[in-house]
Structure 1
């Protein structure tokens, strides 16, 4: 594989790492199913903390000295792909250390063995979630597991990409990233708009939602802003960034597991404090009534656009764009004014 191919594979693997982490964070159905495949199936585990940025450390590893045949301890460096920690009602927290492999991947020498020694070394360490129990889990396509079964069985559990794909479509192609399996524009737009709705209903009742097309007509955009403050963004998105819905550390990429509430909470967490404060307050009854109408429009599959009215581009009614190129209209958000 050439360098660009290796880079692409690594990028796809990281994308799937983040996807499954977000699923644990925001998809209880997936979490319950995944835990049912582990030894913690009956522990009523609740998501507590996670990392998918390859946490690593130096740790002791017992090996056999080839010269003497005696066990010796050496210090090695290694990493976990995805670390997820869960709380449970009747005992201390437990962790899943997940190794993610793509179809054409491979194990490095001693990698499965280092998982066991590393995760044991991290027990009770607050830096890694202070877990008191753990399992190691290999997730990979069937073809990878069959090819590397001896090393694969050194993990406590194996869960196939094919099974995960029943919940997370991104895993259908083992991370090769075909366009068919990526989250499409409508899902991205709908999730963003519903995140705005969630914020209005949960303490940011003065927040304004502004969906519109770029002047070129090539991109759909959406901004959340305080009343009458079009240049002060709580949040802004352009379809030019595709599935990248929130920049930061880390960047947030839309996946099939991302819920409007999860995105809304991330937006609120990263928004400028002073700008977000201007949106605080209880939503008016007119705004709440409009949200119901807005949700109905979204349920019907439409995506709204301001400034897209053939009769009067400056009108305060928004255009509704459907799958079949149909165009409808809806009232704009109460308090909305066309920017001058």
Structure 2
């Protein structure tokens, strides 16, 4: 399977599965908003012309470097305001270099408080990959706020069931 297929399945799950959204938010920095935050899908779709609301959110950094977020999702909470989830997806055959991993947080911080990226105030960076990939890439994983495994996501998104949980 190609990375884009996993990206699409995860984003479709965010859009269509309240259970996935709650689980994702409850496990990280925005746990307090897990039950009340609204995915700003329509606003993201309206913010630019693209085939998918979550994909190809490129930016050019002040140093001239460029990069994108594989899956970019902005949420709004009535009390907490807007926050973003920046997901880097790496399938089993993927390669993640330290510089790419470290750039995720810098880009997320750069995009914050800017209307081009829906003016979010806070963010979380996530590495999404099979458990074995997360274990093998610990130094890169530490550049993200957290990692989530394909095996965990399988409970919400059927495509990810091709990676059974260990011991299952």
Q: TM-score, normalised by structure 1?
A: 0.43
Matched, 1:40 2:30: yes
Matched, 1:145 2:147: no
Q: Is the 8 A contact 1:37 1:159 kept in 2?
A: no
**Residues 258-298 of structure 1: CA distance to partner in whole angstroms, max 9, x if unpaired?**
xxxxxxxxxxxxxxxxxxxxxxxxxxxxxxxxxxxxxxxxx
- 1:1-340 equivalence runs, <5 A: 12-43=2-33, 44-49=36-41, 50=44, 51-60=53-62, 74-173=63-162
Shift, 1:109, TM fit: 4.8
Q: Is the 8 A contact 2:83 2:120 kept in 1?
A: yes
Relative to structure 1, is the Cα distance of residues 109 and 151 closer, same or farther in structure 2, using a 3 angstrom cutoff?
closer
Shift, 1:53, TM fit: 2.1
**Residues 175-209 of structure 1: CA distance to partner in whole angstroms, max 9, x if unpaired?**
xxxxxxxxxxxxxxxxxxxxxxxxxxxxxxxxxxx
Q: For structure 1, which runs of at least 5 residues remain unmatched after alignment?
A: 1-8, 61-73, 175-340
Larger Rg: 1
Shift, 1:45, TM fit: 1.5
Moved over 6 A (4+): none
- Helix, strand or coil for the counterpart of 1:75? coil
Give the whole-Å Cα distance in 2 for the aligned partners of 1:113 and 1:154: 5
| Number of corresponding residues | 151
Larger helix proportion of the pair: 2
Q: TM-score, normalised by structure 2?
A: 0.84
Q: For structure 2, which runs of at least 5 residues remain unmatched after alignment?
A: 45-52, 164-168
Give the whole-Å Cα distance in 2 for the aligned partners of 1:148 and 1:53: 24
- RMSD across aligned positions (CA): 1.5
